[in-house]
Amino acid sequence: MVSIVEALHLMLGFGTFIVTLLGLVIAIVKLSHKK
């Protein structure tokens, strides 16, 4: 079994990764719409 702390660290890491990815996508979309 994975400990609760390890699971939380995994979720936090995955969450920050998704947020960063979403931020990049939004930035690219905004830049492409400006043209």
pLDDT of residue 4: 94
How far is Cα 12 from Cα 2, in angstroms, rounded to an integer?
15
Which residue reads 């609760």 in tokens?
Answer: 4
Which residue reads 């939380």 in tokens?
Answer: 8
How far is Cα 7 from Cα 19, in angstroms, rounded to an integer?
18
Ordered by start, the domain boundaries in the chain are 1-35
pTM listed for this prediction: 0.58
Q: Model confidence over 1-35: pLDDT tens digits? A: 779 999 999 999 999 999 999 999 999 999 999 86
Q: Identify which of 25, 24, 33, 13 has the alpha carbon closest to the alpha carbon of residue 5.
A: 13
